[in-house]
Amino acid sequence: MFHETRLRVRFGETDLAGHVNNAVYLSYLEEARVDFFRSVFETERVPLILASAKLDFMRQVFFPDILRIETGILRLGRTSFDMLHRLFREETGEIALMGVATLVRFNYDQQAPEPLDVFWRDRLNRYLVEPHVSGRDPS
């Protein structure tokens, strides 16, 4: 199952080519993650750090497009998990970007990773998606 977030492209997010600048997409996905955590954990303040992010650009996005970002969980590890983001242009339904972010549960007092406990696993498992929906080879 995917969680959905909708955003509108702002004029200031575009560059001289008239499309959304590539650096802005990380902010879009961050906003989708915050919305996901607000919905799933009922708070925006979750003890996580971003370990990696990979973006695959497929189509251009323009001002004033409305974007639909689908967020799901690809993998649950001991202390980390992978989130899949699929960004669509709402008007056309075309996929514009796919991204995978690896997040680590982190204890800021001890400055160390922390295991995903039963509570976390239960909440995240609700959004577990199959690897093939990412376009990645599941092997």
Per-residue pLDDT, 13: 97
Domain ranges of the chain: 3-129
Give the mean model confidence (pLDDT) for residues 28-52: 93
Give the mean model confidence (pLDDT) for residues 133-139: 48
Q: H/E element holding 75?
A: strand 66-76
Round the CA-based radius of gyration of the chain to a whole number and report it: 15
- Rounded distance between C-alpha atoms, residue 33 and residue 28, angstroms: 9
pLDDT band at 55 (very low <50, low <70, confident <90, very high): very high
> Which fold, 3-129?
Thiol Ester Dehydrase; Chain A (3.10.129)
The model's pTM is 0.89
